[in-house]
Structure 1
Amino acid sequence: MNEQDDDRDGGCGAGCGCGTPGREQFVSISRPSDAPSTAGAGATDRHTIEQAVIPAGTFVMGDSSGDRNAGDGEVPLHEVTLGSFSIDATSVTNDDFARFVDATGYATEAETFGFSAVFHLALAAPEEDILGQPPGTPWWFGVKGADWRHPGGRNSSLAGLGDHPVVHVSWNDVQAYCDWAGRRLPTEAEWEYAARGGLDQKKYPWGDEEPDAGGTWRANIWQGGFPGTNTLEDGYLTTAPVRTFEPNGYGLWQPIGNVWEWCADWFDPNYYRASPAANPTGPIRGGSRILRGGSYLCHISYCNRYRNSARSQNTPDSSMGNAGFRTVSR
């Protein structure tokens, strides 16, 4: 497949408001050298999330809609062939992650660094806990005490959020979970193929209709004027339970919207030009890891990364209140 290589600017670059601010954008805090870790791969029965079995096949990877963002590398369009695999039907939830932490004593990087990124309307902490703000995206706060157990800061908790996706987990944290559970992160190609749900070259998991077509919302994204007013038409300011809205044709719930999902690959905006045709695994090195799917902060007025082909990135040690993960079988 061929496609012109120029990207249209959708209004935001890496680290945008709907995306994922890197840890370095706030303050420099050294990680303690004695952070707990897990050892070895765990048994697969530790991971109890329902699986969606994805058939082997070939699909067209990349943006077919023309709504790509400049610099993200969503083109050229190219055919990719994948073997069959199974993937979590939902994002990993707070309850799922709690079982891992209870079993291992693992401390996330947000906990060991002492802070994480919180969207300003989700803040639940005193003003003195705000450590910094990225100059280009002042609606993000670096918040002391924000972590997966305290998603808005120290005055928040997981009460009522057991079936919501875990957030404030870095790529390194989710690798630790995968090691314990006997799982792995999906490659970027696997993630996109599964998210499409069998609908090749479509914009969204359900087709080309916009998320609010027909007056019923199909994804947890922003409504209203970003970043100050969310009209909550879909019912959620931040995360939604993982089994909200309708699953796609392969049985995946909310592959777009709700939370960004970490993938295994390093990010390179030029990778598609040299990607192998079968089972690509991304560049062999890089400075940031791929995130896919968009989140509850995405809005078409300035950033439309809640599409099947949309890409984002962040450093492996970064964590924030709108990013989580799902896993695949090894």
Structure 2
Amino acid sequence: MKTYTNFIIIICIAVLLLSGMDGCQNEEDPVAFVKASPADGSTIQTDTEIIVTFDGTPTGLNVKGGKFSLTGVNATITGPFTEGTLTLALTWADSATVLTYTVAAPEPEKPDIPPAPEDMVLIPAGEFQIGSNDAEARNNEQPVRTVYVDAFYMDETEVTNVQFKEFLLENPSWQKGRIEARFHDGDYLKHWNGNNYPNGKGNHPVRYVSWYAAMAYSEWTGKRLPTEAEWERAARGGLAGKKYPNGNMITPRDANYDKNVGDTTPVGRYPANGYGLYDMVGNVWEWCLDEYDEDFYFTFPRNGVARNPLSGANSIEWIMDNFTNVNRSSAHVYRGGSWYQGEPYARVAYRNASSPTNTGFRVGIGFRCVKDVTR
């Protein structure tokens, strides 16, 4: 009987022990944070979704710093978030954690711009500082102001003798000997023999061209001359505050200037600037569309932005439609220096001007064309 009693006691103790173990096994482990995607410390956009994963379903989850939804073991945190530092404080019944992100500005949508036409490059829309505060700066280069220009295409090189001859053969009224006297100064295509350019210089820039003739050529090609602001933006090649197209120094390896060669050189011989344009300074001066205004930059906003400025007319379209009627006494801008002039004239901010009949005296004026971007 005693043995039976002891057996019963042992069975009861075992049952109690087993019950206790089951009770322990039924207690839930605390829910812990596993990971976040994107990872803590990442840079995200204002509309990024952040997925936080736990090793179980968190009870009483709260997120300070963003809206959230909970599905099983995953919490999805959404914005929109404010640019700058984002701190997310997560608390739940078992624990807490803090996540920190850097919220970047939204990436701007890239405009749908067609590829540049053959032998042209795209100059992107944007702002730049026009003018100069250098010690060499002239009064007409000041004050420095902020200018915005729309995107446009520009010829990679200056217009060559070969290209200009094609124009002359199709437009006899602009040939040497036939051009109206009111459109030039007597030195038009000075070095040409009739419709023939100098031997061996087909790929050299055409020079001794008046503004009127440059306008006629650009219209024939379906292009136009650049505004002064467009020209300077293009010449700077994306650099800010530099003297020359490729920096603050210029050498005979960079451009044809200061009589280092003694004449023009074939277009494209020297390194291109940051936009892929050749000979933006040196070789030949380049006509611009604008009428010259010595104080033009004073008309730009001091604390704002001048958008697509143009001097001498209300619109580009008006100039293109009426260029043959432009008064020959109204000086027009040309830029970039030439093979003849020295360093100060090769600065991207240097401004020069003359009558639209001028063809360039001793050195000759040339040009290159631009084309509006159409979407």
Q: TM-score range by the shorter chain?
A: 0.5 to 0.7
In structure 2, the partner of 1:89 is 156
Bigger Rg, structure 1 or 2: 2
Gaps of 5+ in 2: 1-116, 315-328
TM-score of the superposition, structure 1-length normalised?
A: 0.65
Segments ≥4 residues shifted beyond 3 Å? 108-114, 283-286
- 2:265 corresponds in structure 1 to 240
Q: Does 1:192 align with 2:217?
A: no
CA distance in 2, matches of 1:222, 1:61: 24
Partner of 2:57: none
Note if contact 2:172-2:178 (Cα within 8 Å) is conserved in structure 1: no
Structure with more contact order per residue of length (Cα contacts < 8 Å, sep ≥ 6): 1
Aligned to 2:336: 293
Question: Of residues 296, 318, 331 in structure 2, which corresponds to 1:271?
Answer: 296
Q: Which amino acid aligns with 1:65?
A: D
Partner of 2:290, secondary structure, is strand
Distance 2:296 2:175 in 1: 30
Q: How far apart are the structure 1 equivalents of 2:287 and 2:178?
A: 19
SS in 2 for 1:305: helix
For the residues of structure 2 that align with 1:178 and 1:219, how far apart are their CA atoms?
A: 25
What amino acid is aligned across from residue 104 of structure 1 in structure 2?
N
Q: Given the superposition, is the C-alpha separation of residues 110 and 173 from structure 1 closer, same or farther in structure 2, using an over 3 Å criterion?
A: farther
SS class of match (1:59) = strand
Distance 1:274 1:311, change over 3 A: same
Say whether 1:222 aligns with 2:262.
no
1:33-52 alignment runs, 5 A limit: 50-52=119-121
C-alpha distance 163-293 of structure 1, shift in aligned 2 (>3 A)? same
Task: Extract unaligned runs of 5+ from structure 1.
Answer: 1-47, 118-141, 224-231
Letter of the aligned partner of 1:207 in structure 2? G
CA distance in 1, matches of 2:293, 2:243: 22
Is 1:99 aligned with 2:166? yes
| CA distance in 1 between partners of 2:296 and 2:277 (Å) | 26
Find the counterpart in structure 2 of residue 62 from structure 1.
131
In 2: Cα distance, 1:279 partner to 1:199 partner = 19
Identity between Structure 1 and Structure 2 (%): 36
Per-residue displacement from partner, 1:151-210 (whole Å, max 9, x unpaired)? 2889x952110111101110000111122111111000000000000001110000001x
Shift of 1:317: 1.2
Superposition pairs of residues 1-330 of structure 1, within 5 angstroms: 50-70=119-139, 73-108=140-175, 112=179, 146-148=187-189, 150-151=190-191, 157-209=197-249, 211-212=250-251, 217-223=253-259, 232=260, 236-275=261-300, 277-284=306-313, 287-300=330-343, 304-320=344-360, 321-330=363-372
**Deviation by residue 1:227-284 (Cα, 9 ceiling, x = unmatched):** xxxxx4xxx2111111111000000001001111000000011110003611111233
Task: Kindly provide the amino acid, as one letter, of the partner of residue 267 in structure 2.
Answer: V
AA paired with 1:316? P
Separation (CA, whole Å) in 2 of partners of 1:165 and 1:246: 16
Q: Which amino acid aligns with 1:98?
A: K
Q: Distance in 1 between matches of 2:197 and 2:229?
A: 35
Query: Cα distance, 1:328 vs. partner?
Result: 0.6
Q: 1:90 deviation in Å?
A: 0.4
Question: How does the TM-score come out when normalised to structure 2?
Answer: 0.58
Aligned mates of 1:99, 1:86 — CA distance in 2: 22
Alpha-carbon displacement from aligned partner over 1:80-119 (angstroms, at most 9, x marks no partner): 01111100010000011111111121325786478x99xx
Describe the SS at the equivalent of 1:218.
Answer: coil
Letter in 2 for 1:171: W
More strand as a share of residues: 2
- Matched residue pairs, number? 235
- Structure with the bigger percentage of helix: 2
How much is the aligned-residue C-alpha RMSD, in angstroms? Answer: 2.7
Summarize the Cα distance change of 1:108–1:315 in structure 2 as closer, same or farther, 3 Å threshold: farther
Amino acid at match of 1:95: V
**Bigger shift: 177-186 or 103-112?**
103-112
